[in-house]
Structure formats: structure tokens, C-alpha cells
Chain A
Amino acid sequence: MIDFENVSFAYEGRQVESLHNVSLSIGNGECVLVTGPSGCGKSTLLRLVNGLIPHFFPGNLNGSVRVGGAGENAVQSAPGAAAGAIVAEGDSPSEDADASLVKASSSPLEPGAVPLYEQAELTSSVFQNPRTQFYTTDTTSELAFALENRGTPEEVIAYHVERVANDMHLAPLMDRSLFALSGGEKQKIACACVEVADTDIVLLDEPTANLDYDASLMLADIIRSWKRQGKTILIAEHRIAWILDDITRLVVMENGSVVRELAGDELAEVDDEFCRSFGLRSARLIAPDEVALPAFDPPEAAERDGCAIENLHFGYTKDRSVLDFDRIPLARGKITAVVGRNGRGKTTFLRCLTGLEKKDKSVLRFKGEVWDRKARIKNVFLIAQDVNCQLFTQSVREEVEISLSEGKGVERIDEVLVSLDLSDVADRDPFTLSGGQKQRVAIACAVASGRQIVAFDEPTSGLGYGHMLQFAALLKHLAEQGRTVVVVTHDTELIETAADYLLVL
């Protein structure tokens, strides 16, 4: 069904190959999880299957990728298919691959081989970011979209949309604006789109990166039903626990190569020791609110110079309050993980804590001071989930400079940059940095601002094991400096590694 033969690929303008001589053969009805640290090439592998490489991401491709049923139906992505691809020096396998292409395919051998819309009848994709994978603005049109593009008759589209909406219990979500849905609901709609398109191959590129625990389990359910239908499923993810029981094969990648393949009974070998040795996320599935950590419950006497949110009663509509707490004590100079099931207001809690919610009337007591909403804006630093929306300047140094608290000199900038290992990139534009580096820049700004409370929204959702550990060390560093750290997260491993207290909403 999907065959990679000695595939190497380098994105246009990059020296380093993202894939290096990868051979992988995936049969009909398999459910394969490709995992590995970020940058290992797992997403690149998927883009080769759905045709985004080379059509959308041009570059230098060698080797052959075959997608589709064996024999006459096979659709091919040609080697060197990127227009004007420069074949790398040395012994490239592209000539042999060209020959095999002529034998196996009836499609013409031209750059770009098969246009994306033909590939679209074979493969469907679910992407990482639930916000940016829809074309229309309402759920019903979105479900119909793929079939509309194929020119399927209207009655047939209506039949399939209704079938999927009922099978997947989507009735409450239909005919609604896509902008009004939660991340989990959006991802569910993305899966429903796959179901309507009814292709034999389903690709999921980090589908749970923006999902919480419950939503990941919901996604696993959907994947099981696709398995029962006999679809071939390829998932690229660094989180593995949520789907481990349902896959037929685990492919571990590192630096663009496949380093380990486990199938069938071998999958039972996947335990924490195995995961550590490959730098993978934990294989244990534990709900974030079941981590054995105490809630912060200070004795009365210690209250006076403590930290607590009081009178937190907040809702977006009058009749329904999302948050309803008289008092939440927070441990000063410690790391508190905030967890909660779907819809318990984790993000709202952060927005209230940081003073961004204008109608919030709660107050924060901190070392004898009382901070209302406006005072909190100046005293709490929030590092958002999408760090891209948080960096404004053209250089890392300037970014830190505009955050400096009053009365601090420029020498403080260098101090902060050194402490976060950012001196090398001090003059670079933050937008050109990697995700992890951007996050460190945001933390550098928090440190430079001198604020006592630093809050994070799902900071490790896209991080592999190694980066997660680095991040945990940073959190501890912030706490050692005496800062109060509040982390909203569904990352059980991060909680186990770094948190001192658990706050269940």
C-alpha cells in the first residue's frame, strides 16, 4: 500500500537531509505509529505520502515512494519530482528508481508526477493544528468539502455527510461555526472529514499535540473504528501511550533514519526503559489528574505571606460559571501543575490569573499585597501555548530588552541570555528560531521582567522526551529563583518530573 524505497529528502534551501535512505513498507490495513524526537523526519515521511512533498514543500528527493493498491492502481510520487530538483552528488539511486517507475505506473513521468487532487482520492490527512486545517467556516460545509471538490453529486454528498454525522454522534456539532468549537471538537470534525472522504489511507500528523487527555482518548476511539474498516493508518507522533494498544507496528526514527521497527508481539517490549533508550515519551497511559502529587494545603499560620486567588467566580454567560472557587492557595516559589478534564476551564483559569479576562472580579493575595485584575497584568507573566503570538521584535536581544524591569541595565540582558543558553542567537530574529528556542526566549523575557509569578499554557505539548526534560529543568530553575510557577498541562510526564503540587480544577 505504501512503499518507501531508499528515500532521501532535503527541504529546499536546507543542507541537512530530513530523511536519509529510508525504506519502509506498509501493508493494507496496518496501523503504523512513527515516532521519534522532533526533527527526526516523521512529519516529512507523511508529507511524502499525501503529496505535500514535493508539490507544497519542494526540495531534493531521491528514491521512490509508491502509494496505493499494488498493480495498476498505484499512484506514484516520482523520484526527483520536485521541479528542477538538483540530484545530490555521489551515487544517487534515482536512475534505478526511474526505471522501476516506468514499469509500475501508467502515469506520465513528469515533474510532480501526480497532481495533489489525484492523491486526494487515495489519502486523507489530519493535521496538528486544529485551528488551521479547515477551508470553510461551518462544520457541515467542511464535511462536504472533499466530496465537493471531486464533483460528487449533491444527493450523494448529503447521504455521506448524514451517515458520518450520525455514526460519529456529531449531531450537536453540525451546522455550527468552526470558530466556536473547542480544540478537541475541531479535531473530531477533521476526523469526520476523513471519514466522509472515505479514502483507503489515513495520515495523522501529530494529531494530539493540541489535544488534552480526554480528547486524545476520543481520537484513539476513532482510529480504532478506521482500523475495523480496514483502512491503512499512518500516525506521526512523539506521544505514544494513547494509541500504543491499537497499533500494529511502531517505527522509531532518529535524525532522518529508521532506527527501530517493532511489530506484533514485539510491541509488548515497549516499556519505559525502551522509551528512555530511544528518547521517547512514556508508554504508560496515566490521566494527568491521577498523578500522585499533593494539593497545596497550607497551615493557617503560613497564610499571611502566602499567595492565593480569592473570589474566583467566572463564566462567559450569566447562567453558567466556568470557574467557581472561593479561594485557591498557590505555593510560593514552587511549581504547581493545573489539570482538569475537558471544559473545566483550564485556559480560562490562566486568563483570569493573568488578568486578561476583563470581567473577572477575583483578587490575588501575594505576600500581604492584594492584586486586582489590572495589577496582575503587571505582575504575572504568561507564556502562551502558541509562542509565535508572543514575540514582537526583530532580535532576541531586543525582545529581552523591552521586557526588562525598570532600573535594570543592559548587563542584565546578557545575564539572562546566558542563563537560558541564548547568547549564540542573541542577534537573530526570534521568528527564525526553532520552537524550543522560541519558548526559551519567552522564558528569558519572563525572567528579565522580574515578575514573581510565571504561568505556562500547555508548554510541552509539542516536545519530545529530551526537550521535555530540558523544559522541566528550566521550570525548576525558575522556582529556585523564588518564582511561583503555575503550569496548565495535560502532560503527565512533565507533572511527574517537575511539579511540586497538583491543582485539579
Chain B
Amino acid sequence: MVDESRTYKMSVRKALLDPRTKLLLLVLLALFCLAGVGGAKLAPFRACLAALPFVLMLIDKRTVRGFVLLAAVVASEAYIMFAFTGQGGFLEGFMLVTTFIVVRLAPCLMMGSYTMDTTSVSEFSAAMNRMHVPSAVTIPFSVMFRFFPTIKENAANLHDSMVMRGIGGANLGKFVEYRLVPLVEVTSRSGDELSASALVRGLGAPVRRTDIARIGFGAGDAIVMLVLAAALAGSLLLPWEAWV
């Protein structure tokens, strides 16, 4: 039984990383990992950067998911660096595609998921305010934090109904019709209700909005930056190719 009589004291805990650091990491991951900026010379830096979201997930959220995926990324990196022969063939091709996805896409998705999981709407909005981003930009983005989980809930409900009614996605056309069309309709309805409730509580007033979230750069941000700077310097200055 929970003790309902205990008194509540509001304490806003500062997150491990500032939201702006997380946004910067997202951009860096998209640039270096997904788009591959910097080419072969920056491979160690890229490996460090790619491992970061998993490590963060592990430290901050303590999820096994982070650990398992980190192992997959390390294994893939090792495969590309050491075991890749360039001879072709089915196995080589399969491994190429798999490791490519793990190394390039997974870190970005993980960072996105980490950012969504660990940033409250209030923190995000505070960070945007500090960067002087106008509210016309901040509000739609902050709604996403609320909206993704709502879409997920709706999709789960639709999925259950489809299973129950025995409607399978036999082909792509039917999948789109039965799965996506209702999801869009249900979700747009939810969206309307969400906006109405936000508006009647004064969202969009032309006053300077307060944010109860405590944000600001701290030790966590410093460590992340140092690690990345060291990795970048190492990749550029050390003759690491000779060691591999």
C-alpha cells in the first residue's frame, strides 16, 4: 500500500546531459555516422561517437537494451575493421549489409530514443528558449514528445483489434489501407484533443514562458565533449592506420 499521506516536495533533478548536448550529438551522429562525413581517416572518431548513445543509455537508463546493442556495434565495427576481406560472395554481402545497418543507423536511432526518453517537454522547451528559438518552432517540436507515445498507444490498440479480427496485412496495399489509414484518422483525432487541451491552458500566450526544468551544462556534458574531442584529435593526428 502506498502512503498517500506523505508530503510531496518538488525537486527538479538536473539531467545527466543538457538537452542542447543531446541535440548536438544527434546532429553529429547524423553527419558522421549516417552520412559518413570525414571518410576513412575519421573511422576511430566515428566508432567512439557511435558507441556513445549506447553507453549513455546504459549509464543513464540502466537498460539491457543499451548493453546488447553496444555489443552488436562493437562486433560490427570489429568485423569491418579486421575480418572484412573484400572478396564478395553471399556471406560477405549479407554481413556487409547487416554491419552497415548496425554501425550507421542503430546509433542514430538509439540517440533519438535516448533523447526522447530522457528529455522532458519542459527541459526541451527551456533549452530552446535559451537558444532563442521562437515558440512557433519550439511548440510543434515539443508536441512530438507527447505525440510519439500517443501514436504508439493507438498503433498497439489497432494491432490488437486486427489480431482479434484475424485481419492480416496480406499485401502492401491492404496493409496501408487497414493499418495506416485508421492510424492516421485515430491519431489526428487524438492530436485535435491534445491541442484543444493545451490551448485552453494558455499555451501560446505572448508572455515569457517559465520552465520549471533545470538545465545547464555540467560535468556530464564536459566529459562527453572531452571524449569526442580526444577521439577526433586522435583520429586526425595519430598514425592509427599503421596499428590496424
Contacts and interface: CB of A to CB of B under 8 A. Distances in A.
Contacts of B48: none
Contact of B10 (A123, A161, A179): A161
Contacts of B210: 147-148, 150-154, 157
Interface stretch (A112-120, A323-331, A459-467): A112-120
Given A134-B146, A377-B164, A179 B153 contact: yes
A288 B111 CA distance: 48
Interface in B163-219: 163-167, 177-179, 181-182, 185-186, 189-190, 193-213
Given A131-B190, A389-B186, A120 B146 contact: no
B132 interface: no
Nearest to B165: A403
Given A137-B120, A141-B120, A141-B121, A390 B161 contact: yes
Contact of A52 (B8, B10, B162, B199): B199
B122 to A, nearest CB: 5
B202 A117 contact: yes
A166 B189 CA distance: 34
A453 to B, nearest CB: 12
B197 A150 contact: no
Interface of B is mostly: helix
Contacts of B200: 50-52, 116, 119-120, 123-125
Nearest to A55: B199
A394 interface: yes
Interface stretch (A98-106, A168-176, A208-216, A263-271): A168-176
Contacts of A140: 10, 12, 212
A150 to B, nearest CB: 6
A377 B166 contact: yes
B157 A386 contact: yes
Nearest to A148: B210
Contacts, number: 194
B165 A149 contact: no
Chain B CB count within 10 A is highest, among A127, A149, A158, A356, for: A149
B3 A172 contact: yes
Given A120-B201, A172-B3, A56 B150 contact: no
Interface string A379-390: 011101010111
A179 B205 CA distance: 27
B167 A392 contact: yes
Interface in A141-187: 141, 144-154, 157-158, 161-162, 165-166, 169-172, 174, 179
Nearest to A142: B121
Nearest to A47: B196
B120 A136 contact: yes
Contact of A393 (B121, B178, B203): B178
A193 interface: yes
26 contacts: A56-B196, A56-B199, A127-B193, A127-B196, A132-B150, A132-B194, A136-B120, A136-B121, A136-B122, A136-B146, A137-B121, A137-B146, A141-B213, A148-B122, A148-B212, A152-B210, A161-B212, A162-B9, A165-B8, A166-B7, A169-B5, A171-B8, A388-B182, A392-B182, A402-B165, A431-B182
Given A127-B193, A141-B212, 17 more contacts: A52-B200, A116-B199, A119-B200, A120-B200, A120-B205, A132-B150, A132-B194, A135-B143, A144-B122, A146-B201, A153-B210, A158-B212, A162-B8, A169-B4, A193-B201, A384-B157, A388-B189
Interface of B: 2-10, 12, 120-122, 143, 145-146, 149-150, 153-154, 157-158, 160-167, 177-179, 181-182, 185-186, 189-190, 193-213
